[in-house]
Chain A
């Protein structure tokens, strides 16, 4: 099944390559990976989706934690969370088909960003399946270009819910100067 991990990492050069290299060499198959900035200037956040079983998911968490630049790993699979994907879709359009494309976009609560003589470009945000379904209904018109961001995820509610992540998140988020001097 698909497992979704939120990974907080040091915002330093090369960290993405460390994470990706780990997945490659341990033969964990990445379904989707996104990375971006967070509310902290020195922390980046990844959402990684992997098709795997529960045992391997635990191994992934342990392995990702082992990377020195990883601050927190939160497996939100099966937890209350908001998961979103964004897609830009360029569909072939004629004057005749254009209203039907608009109508479909409207049903899916997608936005029309650009209308050209032979195409319409649509932006849609939502769960992965919703975007898949929009693409299914647009496909007969002719999909000229599709780009998707991959999934980003966030737990619902005010605070991280698991004990482990609460503890770790506390250490990381409240005190950026935790010292392990020797």
Chain B
């Protein structure tokens, strides 16, 4: 944009105003796919310094924006045309919604005079996305674009973050108006993203913390969103309280910390779930008591008082009734709480938990004798050992490999694991990995996906090559839709209906895109393969052909109590039985 004379506002097309606003919001990259109703916006791209990444499917664009947002905390941006372009975004938007990821999706719309006429490629996308966006906008005039974009960015990243969609009619993109950035500042009288808890709530929380004998911190995604990693650590250390994590909480408290217990929930560590059931106080920090975390809510942590810290008041008492709610920004709340927190000796409690861990260690597949088979857990554990020293972001898909990753990759840094938790979106990993790599070019990005989920969005391999991104792809290939097969094994009498899965030769597939591709099917080859992948200057695809009917242990069946876990058979118990 040319320099503006003082007081003179430039007259620009809506399309150019859009790019101007995105630049001023700090956007460097957008992920998109052009089409008729968004063409004026694409035509105006030549005036902008923003780098556009052409995806192969609009779902990929939304996951990329999501991966970008999760890797950095900044807003990720995806663009698509009207109709099918917009509806293809819905899965990615819902994924971002359930995991509180700040993305802004921009869709073209048919001309405002055609709205409601079932015009070519017309979809009521603001109606369609209403329940899966934090907010959305239908913009029909050029002068509404700047206020909508500024509000959208503000809404997406403030409070509990989430996706926002802006649907812009073609005529709004084409017509011109004065561009007034300052005048477009958000004026949102009804939107109050910040809360601060009452004094009494602090007092009550402190009483509970100080009188607890068996307290436990439940650490969630909100820690990273709030930037409260240091505060959580300081709090845990000062009060000597062990920390269990949700799937999305992994990394926000260091796995190597002496107070870290690991993941809770359906596939959480057995000692963590037992600890939760034994605790007399749960301190939930930025987590929402998802059903995958609680198991049967009626029997959940029956002896525990509960303190819930969350920025979203609708989460309070939604799934689990709590005794004290501190609604607000976690970092601010911990800042206020910390000086009043007293030291306590919890040796007995910590010792109790240590003993629980011992039982799990003997069942751990890493400690079982090598039977010549390659297990996914080996791959993940080796990947962790090989990449732990460098800045690595692991992006997983959904299913068994995701749970093994959560169990065996010990995340020490926040935002080093990106995974679809709430929606459990298969096909997430590859595009989200692209987004993470674009956001953090200096980090090593490892996409870990199953053979099922990978095939849902593998068309984005072309995006990786076109953008020349050094993304490492580890396919955990077991020939099944593994997690579904596991449920069929446990709960449907081993009726493996529709779960055996044919895949292409992944190395040939990779080669077709010009991606260095390798097969690994022996345990001894895992580390050399990972090293070769890391040394290669370009994207790499590895087909890890692992044990087909492997099972994620432990498992809390849906609806069961948290302590009723299906455990991996213990070799010690079995031996004792044999003799």
Interface residues of A (CB under 8 A from B): 9-10, 13-14, 17-18, 21, 25, 55, 58-59, 62-63, 65-72, 171-172, 176-182
- Out of A17, A66, A171, A179, which one reaches B130, CB within 8 Å? A17
In the complex, the chain A residue whose C-beta lies closest to that of B316 is A62
User: Interface stretch among B181-189, B335-343, B426-434, B451-459?
Assistant: B181-189
With A68-B135, A176-B189 known as contacts, the answer to whether A62 contacts B130 (CB < 8 A) is no
Q: Which of B186, B188, B312, B317 has the most CB of A within 10 A?
A: B188
B residues near A55, Cβ cutoff 8 Å: 317
User: Contacts A14-B138, A21-B130, A59-B314; is A68 near B186 (CB within 8 Å)?
Assistant: no
The answer on a CB contact under 8 Å between B189 and A62 is no
B190 x A179 contact (CB < 8 A): no
Query: Which residue of chain A has the shortest Cβ distance to B160 in the bound complex?
Result: A66
How many residue pairs link A and B with beta carbons under 8 A? The number is 63
Query: Which of chain B's residues have a CB closer than 8 A to the CB of A177?
Result: 187, 189
Contact B190 A66 (CB under 8 A): no
Q: What is the size, in residues, of chain B's interface with A at 8 Å between Cβ atoms?
A: 26
Complex contact B189–A178 (CB within 8 A): yes
Chain A: minimal CB distance from B98 (Å): 13
B189 touching A172, Cβ below 8 Å: yes
Please tell me if the beta carbons of B192 and A65 are within 8 angstroms of each other in the complex.
Answer: yes
B151 to A, closest residue via Cβ:
A68
- CB-based contact B189/A66 at 8 Å: no
| B186 close to A182 (CB less than 8 A) | yes
Across the interface, name the chain B residue whose C-beta is closest to A69.
Answer: B190
- The answer on a CB contact under 8 Å between A66 and B314 is yes
Given A14-B138, A179-B185, residue A62 in contact with residue B191 (CB < 8 A): no
B314 touches A180 (CB 8 A): no
Residues of B within 8 A of A69 (CB): 190
A182 and B190 contact, CB distance less than 8 A: no
* A42: nearest chain-B partner, CB-CB: B189
User: In the complex, what residue of chain A is closest to B190 when comparing beta carbons?
Assistant: A71
Determine whether the beta carbon of B314 is less than 8 Å from that of A21: no
Chain B contacts of A179 at CB under 8 A?
185-187
B127: CB under 8 A from chain A? Answer: yes
Find residues 188-233 in chain B having any chain A CB closer than 8 Å to their own CB: 188-192
Chain B 153-175, CB-CB to A under 8 Å as 1, else 0, gives: 11100100000000000000000
Q: Which residue of B lies closest to A71 (CB)?
A: B190
Given contact pairs A9-B190, A17-B130, A181-B185, A66 touches B312 in the complex (Cβ within 8 A): yes
Q: Which chain B positions have C-beta within 8 A of A21?
A: 130-131
28 contacts between A and B (CB under 8 A): A9-B190, A13-B138, A14-B126, A14-B138, A18-B130, A21-B130, A59-B314, A59-B318, A62-B313, A62-B316, A63-B314, A66-B314, A68-B135, A68-B155, A68-B191, A72-B190, A176-B189, A177-B189, A178-B187, A179-B185, A179-B186, A180-B154, A180-B187, A180-B188, A181-B185, A182-B154, A182-B158, A182-B185
In the complex formed, the residue of B with least CB distance to A171 is B189
- Kindly name the residue among A9, A55, A180 whose own CB sees the greatest number of chain B CB atoms within 10 A: A180
Contacts of A68 in B (CB 8 A): 134-135, 155, 188, 190-191
B75 CB, nearest partner CB in chain A, Å: 12
Among B154, B190, B316, which residue has the most Cβ atoms of chain A within 10 A? Answer: B190
Q: How many Å lie between the Cα of A182 and that of B151 in the bound state?
A: 10
- Cβ-defined contact, B190 with A25, below 8 A: no
Point out the residues of chain B lying under 8 angstroms from A59, CB to CB. 314, 317-318
Expressed in whole angstroms, the Cα–Cα distance for A67 and B134 within the complex equals 8
For the complex, what is the distance from the CA of A180 to the CA of B316, rounded to whole Å? 25
Chain B residues in 8 Å Cβ range of A63: 314
Measured between alpha carbons, how far is A18 from B150 in the docked complex, in Å?
21
| C-alpha spacing A51/B198, complex, angstroms | 29
8 Å CB interface, B289-316 against A: 312-314, 316
> In the complex, what residues of B have CB within 8 A of residue A176's CB?
189
If A59-B317, A62-B313 touch, does A17 touch B189 (CB 8 Å cutoff)? Answer: no
Residues 112-145 of B contacting A (Cβ, < 8 Å): 126-127, 130-131, 134-135, 138
Contact indicator A71/B314 (Cβ below 8 Å): no
**Which chain B residues numbered 481 to 503 have a C-beta less than 8 Å away from chain A?**
none
6 smallest CB-CB distances across A and B, nearest first, come from: A181-B185, A62-B313, A71-B190, A62-B314, A68-B135, A178-B189
